[in-house]
Homo-oligomer: A and B are copies of this chain.
């Protein structure tokens, strides 16, 4: 079977998304949508969907609408999340509620969510539509649930690691897993394979999000792409912070809480102090172990998928690279 690498699939879906024309009236509604979709990104979810489909079928172009649909949904969540988080920039560009205004961010976001459903339905084979739409609806709702937990956690100091993992499962993992699942369903995979690919996505998503938390503290700024310590500065309840609040001794915990409550501080000092507390707990090791645990679980689920190992190579390589692992 003719297979394509993730780079090839990226190129094709990127091209497809660029040529989706939303240029109808009123421009005030559709321009922000084109803007958000043109900001780029890794197109992770559509590429995963196409890779899963490509395990079973060659004609990946058949599901470009669904791949674009899941990317449109993802970008809708970024648009509304940025508004709720009062963010200023996304991918180096001003966010919609700054470039336009808050009402535009609300309404164009709503339209994007509807467009995502429309794309998901477009040219979807009749006999698979019910299942595909059930997965998509469920996953879309779970992402909202994840965002709700995330917002509620901001004002709580007693979030457990279990609650945090459940939150990132909903907010990040299920959409990656859903992308793989929909690709597999459309490709005609067995129910078992569909489930394994979903589980692979869940575990890989958790590993990926924990790695993101980890790199915020221990990453190489040149490679990571963001400034180190960003999560620390804004008190983001990451895996690291929650673990530290649970595991630090009395004096470190007090110091940590002091930093969390501080209004006036030198950024470098706060980052250095919190990182020292993390180091005293051995956070790097704890975190690496946790990432490894989810990552190897992910690969186990991928192994269970009943297609020839050589066919799974592109998918494995793609996730491997995302995790900065040796191939």
Contacts and interface: CB of A to CB of B under 8 A. Distances in A.
Interface of A: 25-26, 28-29, 80, 83-84, 103, 106-107, 109-111, 113-115, 117-118, 121, 126-127, 129-130, 133-134, 137, 140-141, 144-145, 147-149, 151-152
A151 B149 CA distance: 32
A134 B145 CA distance: 27
Contacts of A114: 113, 137, 140-141, 144
18 contacts: A25-B145, A26-B149, A28-B152, A29-B148, A80-B106, A83-B106, A84-B106, A106-B106, A107-B151, A109-B110, A110-B113, A113-B113, A113-B114, A114-B144, A117-B137, A121-B130, A126-B126, A129-B129
Given A26-B149, A151-B103, A126 B130 contact: yes
B28 A111 contact: no
Contacts of A137: 114, 117-118, 121
Contacts of A103: 84, 151
Given A106-B83, A121-B133, A28 B113 contact: no
A84 B83 CA distance: 13
A258 to B, nearest CB: 28
A157 to B, nearest CB: 18
A28 B148 contact: yes
A127 B134 CA distance: 16
A80 B29 CA distance: 15
Contacts of A152: 26, 28
Contact of A111 (B29, B115, B141, B149): B141
A147 B117 contact: no
Nearest to A85: B103
A96 to B, nearest CB: 13
Given A107-B144, A111-B144, A118-B137, 17 more contacts: A25-B145, A26-B149, A28-B148, A28-B152, A80-B106, A103-B151, A106-B106, A107-B147, A109-B110, A113-B113, A114-B141, A117-B117, A118-B141, A121-B130, A121-B133, A126-B126, A129-B129
B121 A134 contact: yes
A127 B126 contact: yes
Nearest to A117: B117
A148 B109 CA distance: 12
A114 B28 CA distance: 23
A66 B145 CA distance: 23
Contacts of A26: 145, 148-149, 152
A151 B100 CA distance: 13
Contacts of A84: 103, 106-107
Contacts of A110: 80, 109-110, 113, 144
A29 B126 contact: no
